[in-house]
Amino acid sequence: MNQFGLVAVTAVLVALYHNYLAPQPTVWMAPAQLKLTYFAGPGRAELSRLILSAGNVSFEDERLDRDSFLKLKPTLPLGQVPVLEVDGTTYSQSMAIARYAAKLSGLYPQDPLECLRVDMASESVVDVKTLVTEITYRTPEEAAKAEKTKKLLEESVPKTLKLLESFVHQGPFFLGDKMTYADLQLFDMVKNALVNFDGFSMDTYPKLTALVSKVEGNANVAAYLAKHQK
């Protein structure tokens, strides 16, 4: 093969790579209709509400009372809320909904390693929120509740927040200057769960304190909070 033939073959191979083999950026298109259904309080839907609001994604925010939920319950995929209706199809599981919302909102990374980092932070928050739920809703005995709360505040929370503090390298967010759903998840845990426990403090976590403040100062988040939180 002469020099010109080699150049031509190389050009074809390069074109094939760029057109068919090279990684292509993912473009997430918002559906025509989104309806997020949950109770009036923050609970398991607040993260998705915050994510969609931060991303300026239009959605119907349906908030149920107990009677409305009991009527709706038999029609739900798992008999529970939150659920997200996407163009007429209903989906369940709060974190699955949150990550889908994050992709629509531009708050979920495209780089696989960045996804790993924010998912790691996210799952760390989930671990603490699971303990909070156990104490708040599944431990009626006061003595047991006090014992679990003590362990939460003295062991689980410091361990997790110390880890999360180490994730904030170049700030203000877990991915430097890029806010992701994990930042909103930390904000939700601090503001809607941990602040309800006497003795909880963020004083020894300056990076996380700054992160929470930065999320709260986001214009879209601030507008949502002004509308829905007392």
Q: Please report the pLDDT score of residue 194 as a whole number.
A: 98
Query: Which value, to the nearest 10 degrees, does the dihedral of the CA atoms of residues 9, 11, 16, 18 take?
Result: 160
Q: Where are the alpha helices (DSSP H) in 73-218?
A: 94-105, 112-138, 142-151, 157-167, 181-192, 206-217
What tokens were used for 136?
């708040």
pTM of the model: 0.86
Domains in the chain (CATH in brackets) are 1-108 (3.40.30.10), 112-228 (1.20.1050.10)
Within 10 angstroms of residue 135's Cβ, the number of other Cβ atoms is 19
* Per-residue model confidence as pLDDT tens digits over 136-177: 999 999 999 999 999 999 999 999 999 999 999 888 999 999
Question: Is the distance from CB of 131 to CB of 139 less than 8 angstroms?
Answer: no
**For a pLDDT cut of 70, what percent of the chain falls above it?**
87
